Every structure is written in structure tokens, then in C-alpha cells.
Amino acid sequence: MPRRKKVVQVAESEVTRNGIYTSAQVRARMGVHVKCIRLAIKSGKLRYAKRGQRYLFLGEWLWEWVQIGEVRRSPVDTSPSTN
């Protein structure tokens, strides 16, 4: 039987700045793959706390991580070409 992706409800997808989230909650609420989280942790782009065997993420840290990944387009050159 083919695997189906879980549809994330709007109420579940909210990440508040003062919330505390596990890695499973981050995956469900933000829709990112576990490998993406691991890579961000190893590269130092995503902050985390570890208690026991659990990784914990503050909502503020998740917001910062998203902002770091912002992609800005370069301005389009509208000057006439001299060809």
C-alpha cells in the first residue's frame, strides 16, 4: 500500500515564539524532513537543548532558523541593453 503524507491542520502548524517543541513536533508543524533538522543542527544553524535523549527547540530558535534561510532575489536590471 502506498504511503500517504500526513496533511497538517492549520491549528497544528502554528509555532509560537515562546513554545517548546520536540523534533517530532517540529517535523509535523513545519513540514520539514528529519534529515533537514539534523543537517541544521550539525551545521550550527539551528539551536537546540538536549534533556535526556530528547532534542528540544524553543519557538524563538525556530523563527531565527527560518529567517536565516531567507532567499532574496537580486534586483532586475531594467536598463536598456547596448547590443
Model confidence pLDDT, tens digit, residues 26-58? 999 988 999 999 999 999 999 999 999 999 999
Report the pLDDT value the prediction gives residue 70, as an integer from 0 to 100. 83
Q: Cα-atom radius of gyration of the chain, to the nearest Å?
A: 18
As a whole number of angstroms, the distance between CA 70 and CA 5 comes to 26
Residue 40 lies in a domain: yes
Average confidence score pLDDT of the chain? 85
Q: Classify 49 as helix, strand or coil.
A: strand
Total tally of structural domains belonging to the chain: 1
Read off the pLDDT of residues 61-83 as tens digits, 9 standing for 90 and up.
999 999 998 888 888 777 776 66
The domain in which residue 31 lies consists of 20-68
Looking at the domain assignment, is residue 61 inside a domain?
A: yes
> 69 φ, ψ to 5°?
-85, 10
In a domain, 76, yes or no: no
Q: Is residue 33 part of a domain?
A: yes
pLDDT in tens, 4-31: 666 555 455 688 899 999 999 999 998 8
Q: Is residue 60 part of a domain?
A: yes
